Amino acid sequence: MNSFRLIVILFIFSLSSIAQGENLEEYMIEVIVFEQLEIIGNEKLEPKDLNLIDLNTIALLDKPKIVLNKKTILQSFNYEDTELLISQIIIDKNINEQIQANDPPISAKKINESKWYERQENLNQLDNIYRRLDRRNEYRILHKLSWLQPALGKVESPFVHEIFDDNGFLIRLYKSRYLHLDVIAYIESNLRTDNNPDVIKEIKFDALKNSIPDNVTHHKIEIGAEIINSDEIYKTDQEITQARPDAPKSIEVGKVKYLLNEERRIFKNESHYFDHPKIGIIISVYDSSL
In angstroms, rounded to a whole number, what is the distance separating the alpha carbons of residues 117 and 113? 9
Q: pLDDT tens, 166-197?
A: 999 999 999 999 999 999 999 999 999 999 99
Which of the residue ranges 23-27, 97-101, 197-201 has the most confident prediction, judged by mean pLDDT?
197-201
Cα atoms in the 13 Å half-sphere on the side-chain side of 281: 25
Alpha helices by DSSP H, 123-236 = 127-134, 197-210, 225-228
Mean pLDDT to the nearest integer, 120-134: 96
Residue 19 confidence (pLDDT) above 50:
no
Using CA atoms, how far residue 80 sits from 84, 85, 195, 203, in Å, is 9, 9, 52, 49
Q: How confident is the model at residue 64 (pLDDT cuts 50, 70, 90)?
A: confident
Query: Which pLDDT score is estimated for 288?
Result: 84
Residue 227 confidence (pLDDT) above 70:
no
Mean pLDDT to the nearest integer, 152-178: 96
Asked whether 279 and 260 are in contact (CB, 8 A), the reply is yes
**Residue type present at position 284:** S
In angstroms, rounded to a whole number, what is the distance separating the alpha carbons of residues 168 and 142? 9
pTM: predicted TM-score of the whole model, two decimal places = 0.71
Residue 273 confidence (pLDDT) above 80:
yes
Structural domain boundaries in the chain: 3-14+26-40+57-65+109-213+238-287
Residue 236 confidence (pLDDT) above 50:
no
Q: pLDDT tens, 245-259?
A: 566 789 999 999 999
Cα angle 258, 5, 163 (rounded to 5 degrees) comes to 35
Query: Which pLDDT score is estimated for 119?
Result: 97
Query: Which pLDDT score is estimated for 43?
Result: 74
